Amino acid sequence: MKTFKIGGVHPHDNKQYSAGKAIQQVPLPKQAIIPLVQHIGAPAKPVVQKGDEVKVGQLIAEPGGFVSAGIHSPVSGKVLKIDEAVDAWGMKMQAIYINVEGDEWEESIDRSDKLVRQCALTSQEIIKKVAAAGIVGLGGACFPTQVKLSVPPGKKAEVLIINGVECEPFLTCDHQLMMEHTDEIIVGITILKKALRVEHAIVGIENNKPDAIEKMRQAAAKTTGIEIMPLKLRYPQGGEKQLIDACTGRQVPSGGLPIDVGAVVDNVATVYAVYQAVQKNKPLISRVMTVTGPSVENPGNYEVRFGTPLNDVLAAAGGIPEDTGKIIGGGPMMGRAMSNTDMCSNKRVSGLLLLPESMSVRQAPQACIRCAKCVQACPMGLEPYLLSKMAAHQMWDELIEHNIMDCIDCGCCMFTCPSYRPLLDYIRMGKGKAGGILRARAAEAKAKAEAEKAKAETAAAKA
């Protein structure tokens, strides 16, 4: 069975709490707060004003640039205001506040469950439709999907890789989506194949989900060019670069993009969203979230409209247990611990994990015993013990030399460290600093080149 070649760890997958739980709907909120930044790239620009009536699926903010995504109203009602909102980490952002009235949808949206297989659109039309639906990668990075689908000139996509790995412990939303919407996902894959003009698609699924592998296999047998590939359970298999390595054996070079090795990677949840956008005209207004944890009353998978307060989602799962110490947005390896639950759900939050206090506190760090377990675990082939020391001593240039920018924040080093050292804390800080330095250098070099060019031009003009 295939897997990626370098590093990796085996965290306990802990999926038993919410695995196999049918997707439930969370009731509509009274007020939806929809932030304008729900993706990587430029913030969206609102196209509604205070007092406007909006319907479900109506565009309320348009993309603010090439790398950006539009935002559609997940509810129907009246725009209350466009104002600052505070997210779960205390950061401020612009958001549209909508008072919910009823549940009135745009007429063009097909709300039936009927499977639509045929798709007569061309590649360009599909990409346009995906862009219009505001779809972003739902695996965690939230990169606008239409940008991924638009292959830059000079590059060629050879294989489409679908991420059904869900390597984060605790999370089960992608698994459940594959179980309940198998055919839709397969149709979605054929649409994406068409958009990218590739013949071959590989769906990577870890072998702790045998039911999903079987069901997807059966559905894929009805069409051609889709290979379901079981992968050996290993974290971080869901990382883009690791998944490409596991499925095709190609390794994306340092600083490169997947398209450099002819691969495009999309999450199953994204594929499902693409199906809905292209075949059903339904923009991205909701997602499936896992709400789980050892002491959660009703752990499960919930379909949540964006803008629903997280407190409502938590209430649907039985409320916050008394012993909760940490609430994590996402999985335990890469998710971010939240300082409050006043935020509203959005495209970025793939799950809520409630850890009891006993599991929330870190052990005191001890001296590094140079056991090299972090080096063995690092899936990018870095030396975390060294990087963290350099970052603590603020040796930015040495960090760049030691390829700190390759780090994918997966947390394997810190997970495996027997001395409980906060390796990733320092590496992440160092990465931020080193990135800033590199960007400044690039900008400086660019300015210098431009100045020289201008100089040469004036000299030429004089002559």
> H or E stretch including 375?
helix 373-377
> Which CB sits closer to another protein, 315 or 372?
372
**Under 8 Å between Cβ of 284 and 293:** no
> Which CB sits closer to another protein, 307 or 384?
384
Q: How near is the Cβ of 51 to another protein at its closest, in Å?
A: 22
Q: How near is the Cβ of 288 to another protein at its closest, in Å?
A: 22
- Start-to-end C-alpha separation, the chain: 68
Q: How near is the Cβ of 142 to another protein at its closest, in Å?
A: 16
Q: How near is the Cβ of 432 to another protein at its closest, in Å?
A: 6
Provide the strand spans (E) within 306-386. Answer: 324-329, 336-337, 351-356
> Which CB sits closer to another protein, 281 or 324?
324
> Which CB sits closer to another protein, 155 or 197?
155
CA gap 395, 16 in Å, rounded: 44
Q: How near is the Cβ of 319 to another protein at its closest, in Å?
A: 10
CA gap 345, 329 in Å, rounded: 10
CA gap 209, 292 in Å, rounded: 18
Q: How near is the Cβ of 367 to another protein at its closest, in Å?
A: 4
Question: Of 278, 285, 292, which Cα lies nearest the Cα of 332?
Answer: 292
SS3 of residue 229 by DSSP:
strand
- Residue 354, strand partner residues: 327
> Which CB sits closer to another protein, 31 or 419?
419
> Which CB sits closer to another protein, 274 or 320?
320
Question: Of 277, 284, 287, 275, which Cα lies nearest the Cα of 56?
Answer: 284
> Which CB sits closer to another protein, 42 or 429?
429
> What is the helix, strand, coil percentage profile of the chain, to 5?
35, 20, 45
Q: How near is the Cβ of 304 to another protein at its closest, in Å?
A: 21
Encoded amino acid at 217, one letter: R
Contacts of 156 (CB under 8 A, 6+ apart): 262
> Which CB sits closer to another protein, 203 or 413?
413
71-72 vs 59-62, strand pairing mode: antiparallel
> Which CB sits closer to another protein, 49 or 339?
339
> Which CB sits closer to another protein, 67 or 337?
337
Q: How near is the Cβ of 441 to another protein at its closest, in Å?
A: 19
Q: How near is the Cβ of 87 to another protein at its closest, in Å?
A: 9
**Under 8 Å between Cβ of 219 and 183:** yes
Q: How near is the Cβ of 55 to another protein at its closest, in Å?
A: 32
324-329 vs 336-337, strand pairing mode: antiparallel
> Which CB sits closer to another protein, 220 or 374?
374
Question: Of 424, 332, 314, 338, which Cα lies nearest the Cα of 378?
Answer: 424
Sign for the pseudo-dihedral over CA of 60, 62, 63, 69: positive
Q: How near is the Cβ of 52 to another protein at its closest, in Å?
A: 25
CA distances (Å), origin 278, targets 115, 116, 129, 274, 303:
12, 10, 6, 6, 20
DSSP annotation string for 401-436: HTTGGG-----HHHHH-TT---HHHHHHHHHHHHHH
SS3 of residue 33 by DSSP:
strand
